Homo-oligomer: A and B are copies of this chain.
Amino acid sequence: MPKIGMEPLRRKALIDAAVLAIGERGSLDVTMSEIATRAGVSAALAHHYFGGKNDLLEATMRHILRELGRDSVAALAGVSDPLGRVSAVIAVNFAHSQFRRETIAAWLAFYVEAQRSAPMRRLLRVYTRRLHSNLMSGLRELLPEREAERTAEGIAALIDGLYIRRALVDGAADAASAVALVDDYLETRLTRETART
């Protein structure tokens, strides 16, 4: 059976299985057996490739973040006008893929882990910085530095808050209205600034 280079295949299968399991349980409270069985291998093999449960879960989180990163660069590619860039960033964070059960579960579990796990907190900071940077790439050309920073902070918070509310409280995730609200916020900040001159 052992062909060549099983490792990358198995790692991917295990991470995919972990994402599925997390999405189903709604938290990181999943067993190695469940993940391994889902990936079609034994629990022992999961340990063999990842060392321990924590390492597997950490790799899984990293994988999810990487996906969001890919989506972000894709959304920004080719959009050169500043306002379009900001809108693109907002849209990506409310994209369909972000409202899958697994993604929501992973994000919430992510927050929980970040409280006590330094590596997870580092990962969370990566997301934060990237979002900020992406927003600033457009805002910098629309507002003075100080004002741009503040607007980026507001938009980022608005995104996080609306995401949780749409994902948990409101029924069907109404991404459109969320995007509209954030866009409205952006527009207001812009008009206020130009009116000030």
Contacts and interface: CB of A to CB of B under 8 A. Distances in A.
Interface of A: 25-27, 29, 104-105, 108-109, 111-112, 114-116, 121, 124-125, 128, 150, 153-154, 156-162, 164-165, 168-169, 181, 184-185, 188-189, 191-192
Most chain B CB within 10 A, of A150, A157, A168, A184, is at A157
10 contacts: A112-B112, A114-B168, A124-B169, A154-B181, A154-B185, A157-B158, A158-B161, A164-B164, A188-B188, A191-B192
A153 B157 CA distance: 13
A130 to B, nearest CB: 12
Nearest to A166: B157
A158 B162 CA distance: 8
Residue of A105, A162, A169 contacting most chain B CB atoms (<10 Å): A169
Given A108-B112, A154-B185, A162-B157, A124 B192 contact: no
Contacts of A162: 157, 161
